[in-house]
Chains A and B, each alone.
Chain A
Amino acid sequence: MDITETLAIPIPEQLDPSATTGHADLDLTTVGDITVPDPRMKLRDINVFYGQKQAVFNVNLDIGSNSVSAMIGPSGCGKTTLLRCLNRMNDTIDGCRVEGRVEMDGKNVYARKVDPVLLRARVGMVFQKPNPFPKSIFDNVAYGPRIHGLVHDRTDLEEIVHTSLERAGLLNEVKDRLDQPGTGLSGGQQQRLCIARAIAVSPEVILMDEPCSALDPIATARIEELIGELRKNFSIAIVTHSMQQAARVSQRTAYFHLGYLVEVGPTKDIFTTPKHQLTEEYITGRFG
């Protein structure tokens, strides 16, 4: 496996795919099998627009159960936008329009009668920058269970908070100062707090949008280890800039290029025997 040490460097936003590589007539139809045997969520014919500008083109993709699906690609390739379709976070962006179907249990989450509040309780999210609430560590984790009415007394709540912190690998570091502000933790701890907050409502899917991009290598390693643990109980979709990270944590990898899903397949195949020319050029570090 030849993964270069070169990290993905953001390239300026470009609309013409050929401009990046010099291949004017490049075929951007998806290579590889988009389906998995046990899908938790399915994306079908997804097109996303920001006003007049289209950001995602005709993407079909399955998110497997109890596995980590990684989305990689150069900056501006639409991977974050696509991730945010899975829990309808794009609803909050003015002028963002999503076409196509996002299925969970066979139902389209974009159907009119689906309440995004319920969807987001089932599909949790961890953001690029750690964003704990300016409240205590305890309240950060307890917020989700509280608003959803998942607990009936203080003992239940403490139980959930402790379990969630434990699963996020943070409990030992913070158990003596649960009443301290969550914003006082280090960056890596904050991100694990955000993971604890996400899993406190027992979602089925966890979306991670470049969860380690603001962290140092040691904190990154801890989060990656954690992702491996979480996979046993949750389905995870992760967007990452780092190819090594995708290689380390994921079972399936999808490579995006300028809004198109170019190639998808088992992670080891993508990194060892990429079929599409763009994928190969990206993972060997020739561009991106």
Chain B
Amino acid sequence: MSRTEQIVSGLARRQRAEKRFRLYGLIAIVLGMSFLLLLFGSIVTNGYKAFTQTYIELPIYFNPEVIDPGGEHDPQTLFSADYWKLVKTAMYQKFPQVSGRKERRELARMISEGSAYELRDQVLENPGLIGTTRHIWVVADDDIDMLMKGYIDREVPEDERRLNDRVIGYVDDLREAGVIERQFNTTFFTAGDSREPEQAGILGALTGSFLTLIITLLLSFPIGVAAAIYLEEFAPRNRFIDLIEININNLAAVPSIIFGLLGLAIFINWFGMPRSTAIVGGLVLALMTLPTIIIASRVSIQAVPPSIKEAALGVGASRMQAMFHHVLPIAMPGMLTGTIIGMARALGETAPLLMIGMVAFIVEPPSGFTDPATALPVQIFLWSDSPERGFTERTSAAILVLLAFLIAMNAAAVYLREKVTKRF
């Protein structure tokens, strides 16, 4: 057999091996993509309905005798008045045929209790409403919402479902009259947490996450980059620095809940910082993110060609000038990538926040770094634990918001990176 023949005989085998390898790669990608699609598909199908909510149109008579007996429009009186009675009255008038305590209670329960606060806010804003009758869309109870979204099966025996035949009959009547419909769920984006699914929103958690991440970014990026610059450029090569390097690498692998314990012990118990606040959450997540940023920053500094630094030093730049004028601009895209990976991890982190009390039930969105707050992933965790069907779909919707937040962050990072990238 000649040499050429020898090579030819092996060629087919080599080509087969290559084809096989390409196929494996393709299979891996298809598999990964399909799992991703499955994941997204299930979340979206579960969650998209939470972006709408059932509303019922009621002719509300702002009865002065109920909400403003004195007739003085005193904000204090208006604030503490019984608006729920207005809703109930309107409901009873809608169904005059219904009598009996039990039936009337069922009727009133079709409306969310939150609608009373809605009416109160409207009156406080515009006291001229008192004494008039207005057609107002009020939020329906979450059970009605579930029925409208088709989650309650009418075929199931009456005593096994959450709504009895009578209530379903009322809903059908309202539907025929065209005064019940699903509208965009603004509450979901403007409210904090609530015990009632129809009143629960993610604004509180979103604000909490945002405030926490601001603290994390402000602390971990400058400190991480500074540490990386020091270690790469100025640190002497000795055992102590080696020890520090090993520890930074180890810290990157420490489970996040440990950082939560650390935050609890140091920031809350020792420094006496307030519990459940964005500032403590930000500090803890900054500690957790630091190693990632330091490692990524060091790698990108090392990747800068040394000739650039030498050129700067050669014309008499100090080490710091060489670093800040020439090395850092080139290393910046890599540093930003590392930072965004760290921040994305921080955004999705739940465990350390549980340890420092950011798992609290927060109704009011935090207005500052020291207000009690919770975070998006923690909110998702809380809702996923609730038995109501309304919370199940809100869990998925909150996950969608979290993913959107994440994608927005990544897009911003990519944009920033493109802007600062220097080409050789």
Contacts and interface: CB of A to CB of B under 8 A. Distances in A.
B311 A127 contact: yes
B236 to A, nearest CB: 10
Contacts of A181: 423
Interface string B216-253: 00000000000000000000010000000000000000
A41 interface: no
A61 interface: no
B307 interface: yes
A183 B329 CA distance: 15
Please give me the 5 A-B residue pairs with the lowest Cβ-Cβ distance, nearest first: A121-B316, A131-B307, A125-B314, A144-B315, A120-B316
Interface stretch (B91-99, B123-131, B180-188, B317-325): B317-325
A133 B311 CA distance: 8
B315 A143 contact: yes
B315 A134 contact: no
Interface in B273-308: 305, 307-308
Contact of B308 (A89, A121, A126, A133): A133
A120 B315 contact: yes
A118 interface: yes
Nearest to A95: B237
B271 interface: no
Interface stretch (A71-79, A104-112, A193-201, A231-239): A193-201
Interface string B148-187: 0000000000000000000000000000000000000000
A1 interface: no
B310 A127 contact: yes
B315 A198 contact: yes
Contacts of B270: none
Contact of A144 (B237, B316, B423, B424): B316
B326 interface: yes
19 contacts: A92-B313, A94-B237, A95-B237, A117-B318, A118-B316, A120-B314, A121-B315, A127-B314, A131-B311, A133-B312, A143-B315, A143-B317, A143-B325, A147-B315, A147-B317, A147-B325, A183-B424, A197-B315, A198-B315
Contacts of B305: 131
A148 B305 CA distance: 24
B311 A194 contact: yes
Contacts of B307: 127, 129, 131
A161 B170 CA distance: 86
A267 interface: no
A124 interface: yes
B358 interface: no
A87 interface: yes
B105 interface: no
Interface in A105-158: 117-121, 124-127, 129, 131-134, 143-144, 147-148
A197 B313 CA distance: 12
Nearest to B307: A131
B422 interface: yes
